[in-house]
Chains A and B, each alone.
Chain A
Amino acid sequence: MDVSMLQRTYTDLLTSLFREGILNQQFIELQQLQDENNPGFVNEVVSLFFEDAGRLITELISNFNQQAVDYKKVDAYVHQLKGSSASIGAEKIRSVCQTFREYYDKNDIQGCYNCIQPLKQEFMTFKSKLEALFALEQQIVAAGGSIPMMRH
């Protein structure tokens, strides 16, 4: 594929992620932290997140599937997830975590329950989109181009 086409695809994807509220400003901050010393920085951090968040979500779902749910435990996981997602700018995930917390505070079991599936869903969406993004980056670089930077 032509470099400029790749770059355009990349930019479109990134822009849409922001527009859809999947990413927020924090992601840009991360990109700005990246430099020649550490060109894979964003990739590394996001991969860390995938691992960590994946584990958290698995744990909290399994907790939720038990006969008797330990909501406090689940809440703790969600809180962690919230912190993690905030670190890389995963806005939607962070937001669902926030909603969960609000239901939890009101002792609204139904509300809490309703957050779990979306949480998982958002995570999977996030993961696939960012993987696509990184794949594009690699292609661009391989084709000799540079990765367009987002300006905010």
Chain B
Amino acid sequence: MESHSVPSRAEAFPVGLRVLVVDDDPTWLKILEKMLRKCSYEVTTCGLARVALEILRERKNKFDIVISDVNMPDMDGFKLLEHIGLEMDLPVIMMSIDGETSRVMKGVQHGACDYLLKPVRMKELRNIWQHVYRKKMHEVKEIEGHEFTCDDLQLIREAGFEGFEERGFLTREDRKRKEEHSDQDGSDQSAAKKARVVWSVDLHQKFVNAVNQIGFDKVGPKKILDLMNVPGLTRENVASHLQKYRLYLSRLQKQNEDSALGNNRRADFNPKEPPAKPDLKTLPEVQQGTTPNSSSGFGFVAPKTETQPIKTISHLEEDTKVKKKATSMPPLGMLLSFTGTIPNAEIKPSEPLNTMKHQTWTSGLPVMQFMQYPKHDHERCDLLGDYSCLPKPDLYTSAPSVISINMQNGTGDLLDVKPALMDCIKAISPLTCTVDGSTLGLDVLPGIKGCFLEQTGSNAEPGHITGSDLVPLPEDLHLYSSFQEIGCFENVGLMNSIDLFQTEVESSSNWCDGSELLDYPLIDECLFA
């Protein structure tokens, strides 16, 4: 699964373009890899969306562009797209065999820079570099004329520019500009050479506060910018962030609406299952008054919402039940109380907190079973039910002996990640950082690292995380990328990691009335008789 030789510096862009391909179909992965190599690109393939995210988080700035399939069992491609847009801000191309306009539109809405129809042809792949180019151009414009100061503005991605510089991509002027800026402001060593704004927890908090203050309907980038009062931040930064934020919220809203309406387009096939009631004991206190067990000192106060019974979120989810495990939550509770900074706690009071389904993370930190599962179950549950297809977790038993994350590919250097991840899991149970510094594994769980490493290394105090504590790279703690997964808990960085640890989900199938079929002979299952 590893990319091969790096082209020499003398070779011009786009040679050596670093592409990450994500597709659950092994034949497609192989074909795409071959095609991209023929374009002289540097290719990394990945069969699982979650692993792809890990890779991207861990190897920041090592990729220029991501190509991903839309239909994947472990995570909806659009969701992956959003994650990448929010956390890494890389250009993402979607692919699908389904070319329906509505789907393509959805892709664009979610921020895809292109949408390719399978079967994809060489010539289409040859051209993908334009998206990378375009984005870089955009960023150069963004940093023009800025004065960099330290403060809240966390600038990263030096490598983004460096990579291009190596290839003679930046003009002399750009480079000069970069150097000029590096002279300013010695105290913050991270200031210079940075190309892009990173939306840290703190920064995003300011953003959301501003939005709420103005009133969601009346926001505009300028107003937000003024309210935020962050030196160095531009209107463009805010505008683009606002756009993403809107997208994210609208998607949430739609999902909640679907759930509320019991949206089901295949009504005949899928008689609705009565929603399963959760074991309330295991739920964090998200909804006021509904959960008697306010365990583990959650500092978080849920917005007032109506209590919703467990409802299926969308028709896709109807047939999954979350089986609640009576596991304790303190570890997560710790971190979650950090979310006193939950940014949009106020935003949408009308959104039912579909927390019932979101308690998957309460089952603790199951080991990476998800790594092992075959592509057997394709119920894609957009919201939380991402875990629905994953097998029952087995806490802390053997580490997966087969570290075959990507079905078809060699283990590459992902092998490094897995044991490290294992270590990290053990280290964070209970979820306090007894970790000993930035191990590789911790990089993989950025939320935890970001939150706690810089503190005492022992039990971190919740709610006392300030911006300065979040060095390095708190951009991992992207708050709303897993908003949907944890109801209104915004401790996303962690949640993203916790996503990896699935819950027990029973997928109970939709039972259609099978009586019609009794007359039909069973289909001969033997394929190779």
Residues of A at the B interface (CB closer than 8 Å) are 26, 29-30, 33, 38, 41, 44-45, 48-49, 52, 54, 57-59, 61-62, 64-73, 76-77, 79-80, 82-84, 86-89, 104, 107, 109-110, 113, 116-117, 120, 123-124
Query: Contacts of A71 on B, CB cut-off 8 Å?
Result: 266, 269-270, 510, 512
Query: Contacts of A45 on B, CB cut-off 8 Å?
Result: 27, 30-31
- A26-B119, A80-B25 known; 13 new pairs, CB 8 Å cut-off, are A33-B35, A33-B122, A48-B30, A58-B527, A61-B524, A69-B514, A70-B319, A70-B512, A71-B266, A86-B118, A87-B25, A107-B267, A113-B517
16 contacts between A and B (CB under 8 A): A29-B121, A44-B30, A58-B525, A61-B523, A61-B524, A68-B509, A71-B269, A71-B270, A71-B512, A76-B379, A77-B378, A83-B28, A83-B96, A89-B119, A109-B269, A110-B516
Partner of B27, one of A52, A67, A120: A52
Mask: chain B, 10-32; 1 = CB below 8 Å from A; 0 = not: 00000000000000111110110
**Total B residues in contact with A, Cβ cutoff 8 Å:** 47
Which chain B residue has the least Cβ–Cβ distance from A44?
B30
Query: Contacts of A67 on B, CB cut-off 8 Å?
Result: 514
Minimum Cβ distance to chain A for residue B512 (Å): 6
Query: Contacts of A57 on B, CB cut-off 8 Å?
Result: 527
Query: Contacts of B378 on A, CB cut-off 8 Å?
Result: 73, 76-77, 79-80
Contact A83 B25 (CB under 8 A): yes
Contact A116 B28 (CB under 8 A): no
Partner of A29, one of B119, B509, B525: B119
Contact B28 A87 (CB under 8 A): yes
Minimum Cβ distance to chain B for residue A70 (Å): 3
Contact A70 B514 (CB under 8 A): no
Partner of A82, one of B69, B97, B380: B97
Q: Is B146 close to A, CB under 8 A?
A: no
Interface residues of B in 480-529 (CB under 8 A from A): 509-514, 516-517, 520, 522-525, 527-528
Partner of B509, one of A33, A58, A73, A77: A73
* CB-CB under 8 A for A52 and B25, given A59-B376, A77-B378: yes
Contact A72 B527 (CB under 8 A): no
Which chain A residue has the least Cβ–Cβ distance from B511?
A68
Query: Contacts of B408 on A, CB cut-off 8 Å?
Result: 48
Minimum Cβ distance to chain A for residue B514 (Å): 4
Q: Is B71 close to A, CB under 8 A?
A: yes
Interface residues of B in 268-313 (CB under 8 A from A): 268-270
Contact B379 A41 (CB under 8 A): no
Query: Contacts of A68 on B, CB cut-off 8 Å?
Result: 509, 511-514
The prevalent SS among residues of A at the interface is helix
* CB-CB under 8 A for A84 and B25, given A65-B525, A73-B377: yes
Q: Is B106 close to A, CB under 8 A?
A: no
> Which residue of B28, B268, B319, B380 has the most chain A CB atoms within 10 A of its CB atom?
B28
A140 to B348, CA, bound (A): 69
Which chain A residue has the least Cβ–Cβ distance from B72?
A80
Partner of B118, one of A33, A70, A87, A110: A87
Query: Contacts of B524 on A, CB cut-off 8 Å?
Result: 61, 120
Minimum Cβ distance to chain B for residue A26 (Å): 5
Contact A65 B31 (CB under 8 A): no
Minimum Cβ distance to chain A for residue B346 (Å): 37
A58 to B376, CA, bound (A): 11
Query: Contacts of A107 on B, CB cut-off 8 Å?
Result: 266-269
Q: Is B34 close to A, CB under 8 A?
A: yes
Query: Contacts of A120 on B, CB cut-off 8 Å?
Result: 523-524, 527
Query: Contacts of A124 on B, CB cut-off 8 Å?
Result: 527-528
A66 to B513, CA, bound (A): 12
Minimum Cβ distance to chain A for residue B529 (Å): 10
Mask: chain B, 371-396; 1 = CB below 8 Å from A; 0 = not: 00001111110000000000000000
Contact B27 A61 (CB under 8 A): no
Contact A33 B34 (CB under 8 A): yes
Minimum Cβ distance to chain A for residue B385 (Å): 13
Instruction: Give the 10 A-B CB pairs with smallest separation, nearest first.
Output: A76-B378, A70-B509, A68-B511, A68-B514, A107-B268, A87-B27, A83-B97, A65-B522, A26-B119, A71-B269
Minimum Cβ distance to chain B for residue A84 (Å): 5
Q: Is B9 close to A, CB under 8 A?
A: no
Which chain A residue has the least Cβ–Cβ distance from B32?
A87
Partner of B512, one of A58, A69, A80, A117: A69
Contact B525 A61 (CB under 8 A): yes
Minimum Cβ distance to chain B for residue A46 (Å): 8
Mask: chain B, 22-58; 1 = CB below 8 Å from A; 0 = not: 0011111011001100100000000000000000000
Partner of A73, one of B118, B379, B522: B379
A120 to B511, CA, bound (A): 24
A69 to B270, CA, bound (A): 10
Query: Contacts of B319 on A, CB cut-off 8 Å?
Result: 70, 72
Which chain B residue has the least Cβ–Cβ distance from A33?
B34
Minimum Cβ distance to chain B for residue A45 (Å): 5
Query: Contacts of A89 on B, CB cut-off 8 Å?
Result: 119
Query: Contacts of A58 on B, CB cut-off 8 Å?
Result: 525, 527
A76 to B511, CA, bound (A): 16
Which chain B residue has the least Cβ–Cβ distance from A34?
B34
A30 to B523, CA, bound (A): 33
A25 to B2, CA, bound (A): 30
Minimum Cβ distance to chain B for residue A55 (Å): 8
Contact A72 B510 (CB under 8 A): yes
Which chain B residue has the least Cβ–Cβ distance from A70?
B509
Query: Contacts of A69 on B, CB cut-off 8 Å?
Result: 512, 514, 517
Query: Contacts of A70 on B, CB cut-off 8 Å?
Result: 319, 509-512
* CB-CB under 8 A for A86 and B119, given A69-B512, A71-B266: yes
A64 to B525, CA, bound (A): 10
Contact A54 B527 (CB under 8 A): yes
Interface residues of B in 108-163 (CB under 8 A from A): 118-119, 121-122
Contact A116 B523 (CB under 8 A): yes
A123 to B122, CA, bound (A): 27
